[in-house]
Chains A and B, each alone.
Chain A
Amino acid sequence: MVTPEMKICRPKVTVKDLSVSYGRLESLRHVSFEVNEFEILGVIGPAASGKTSLLRTFNRLNDENPAFQKTGKILLDGVDIYEKMDLPTLRKKIGMIFALPAPLPLSIFDNIAYGPRLHNVWKTSELEAIVEKSLRAAFLWEEVKDRLKTPAMKLSGGQQQRLCIARSLAVEPEVILFDEPCSGLDPIATAHVEEAMQELKAKYTIILVTNNTKQAARVSDRTAFFLMGELVEIDRTQKIFTVPQDKRTEDYISGRFG
């Protein structure tokens, strides 16, 4: 068993003095922290604390919003993702799972193959291999292997979310962002998705934004607590949930507000 302390901590993502605003609305204020390679970083905080904004800044989906402005830097393996990387390359390296399962109106197979095809993989044998590998890694293969041609929209919510995980794995990302991935799922489906995450951290760096503090406690190695756009505290999950340094963290995780 590898505990977080025993791992060699190499920073995968470095956030330096990041501030984000949309027009007059400030979303993140002077945030700095690091995400280590092969860890699950849980990000918790009440609504409007800037969690989702943070994720969308990591893969630059915020660029689609004309009002978006930021100062500060985000480095991936030491490379500035806003200055030194083009969008497709960045988004291939940093995958994202959305709050609501979002399969495209295509078959299961074509959903998984969507990403590889974007990046010019066209040979059927190659695609078949990628689809199987990705579905296995997302713990969905056994349930769907006999009906890859059926529409992905026909799957249950939990299966759809694992399909979305498989779909982002298919482009071989290095970091995966989870944006409240279980908010629409029942406890059993949630358990499946969490199980998948635990396995994935062996090969990927995971940032998990969640409204469910218990989920962060169950899944993540380290946890960051955000409040009104500020990073209040970041530490090993065990420490955050047993001996938080900040009174506000304690109040939040013990359910006094949120």
Chain B
Amino acid sequence: MIRINPRITEKLAFAFLFFSTLLILVPVFLILVLIFKDGLPALSWEFLASYPRLGMRAGGIFPALLGTVYLAAGTLVFSLPIGILGAIYLSEYAKDHGFKRVVEVAIINLAGVPSVVYGLFGLGLFVIFLKFGASLLAGSLTLGIMSLPVIITSTREALGTVPKSFREVSLALGATKWQTIRRAVLPNALPGILTGTILALSRAAGETAPILFTVAAFYLPKLPQSIFDQAMALPYHLYVISTQVPNVKLSIQYGTALVLILLVLAMNIVAIVIRARFRKRKLW
């Protein structure tokens, strides 16, 4: 066996580890640079606030942007209550029996389902079987189901970080289990829950496959009037103007991508700020 001087192996190890870390940064950096370089010139108030014109070869992205905001809001409405309540049940109430394990395995599997399968499922259940048609409702429900595993998992993690002593103190003062969860546990888990929820939403906002068959419209001359209307959405719009419509200016394509990525980044930054604020405040 060859013996290498430990000082050399130490340097080698450091070099490899550092290089690998650097590799993580490269794609993020390149994506941002490329999109900013070609997209930034297109970005203007008018681009954000006006309708597409000339067969989407000119004008802005307002309906798509608004559609994505609607979808994110709809996703929140459907996934947040169910996710939080389900997570509370699993973490605080469910006994460690078969049923709980089945649900836990189901959640893990739900998280692993490819997004295009969610799209087909949404098409089958909401659009066709429940006759919602391609609509904001069907799209929000589909994205909501896709977001559930992340929200449930992050809520359970947040509940788990609340010290056991808070619960015992509350119970020892004569609180019921629900009073304890409501007053001693949830307020202290809320920042973690919010962080996880925003991250799940930012992912939902950027997804294309689940909305493809359930809500997204190629082009609509007017905004959706109710939850039963179709809507345009940023990720699908980007796909359309990049591959389906010929001769779209590069700046419009990259401008759209830039808006999408900024939207998602902004949501992630909000999540990071909430987390950082909470860390500063928390004293246990």
Contacts and interface: CB of A to CB of B under 8 A. Distances in A.
Given A153-B283, A153-B284, A102 B174 contact: no
B115 interface: no
B166 A61 contact: no
A104 B184 contact: yes
Contact of A105 (B96, B172, B283): B283
Interface string A164-175: 100110010000
Nearest to A86: B176
A90 B172 CA distance: 9
Nearest to A154: B283
Interface in A111-132: 114-115, 117-119
B140 interface: no
Given A92-B174, A118-B174, A98 B188 contact: no
Contact of A87 (B165, B169, B176): B176
B249 interface: no
Contact of A66 (B95, B171, B172): B95
A96 B174 CA distance: 10
Given A66-B96, A104-B184, A98 B165 contact: yes
Contacts, number: 69
Of A91, A105, A115, the most chain B CB neighbours within 10 A belong to A105
Contact of A118 (B95, B173, B188): B173
Given A151-B283, A153-B284, A114 B171 contact: no
A119 B174 contact: yes
Contacts of B173: 91-92, 95, 114-115, 118, 167-168, 171
B37 interface: no
B171 A61 contact: yes
Interface in A166-202: 167-168, 171
B96 A59 contact: no
Contact of B282 (A66, A91, A98, A105): A105
* Overall SS of chain B's interface: helix
B168 interface: yes
Nearest to A66: B95
Contacts of B183: 114, 117-118
Contacts of B175: 88, 91, 118
Nearest to B95: A66
A91 B168 contact: no
B165 to A, nearest CB: 4
B244 interface: no
B161 interface: no
A192 to B, nearest CB: 20
A102 B176 contact: no
A104 B179 contact: no
Contact of A114 (B170, B188, B283): B170
Contact of B188 (A61, A105, A167): A105
Of B172, B184, B188, B283, the most chain A CB neighbours within 10 A belong to B172
Interface string A73-105: 000000000000001111110011010101011
Closest 3 CB pairs of A and B: A92-B174, A153-B283, A115-B173
28 contacts: A64-B168, A64-B171, A87-B171, A87-B176, A90-B174, A91-B174, A95-B173, A96-B172, A98-B168, A98-B169, A100-B165, A102-B165, A102-B169, A104-B169, A114-B183, A114-B184, A115-B174, A118-B173, A118-B174, A118-B179, A118-B183, A153-B283, A154-B283, A164-B169, A167-B169, A167-B173, A168-B172, A171-B174
Given A88-B174, A91-B173, A168-B173, 6 more contacts: A61-B171, A88-B176, A96-B172, A114-B184, A117-B183, A171-B173
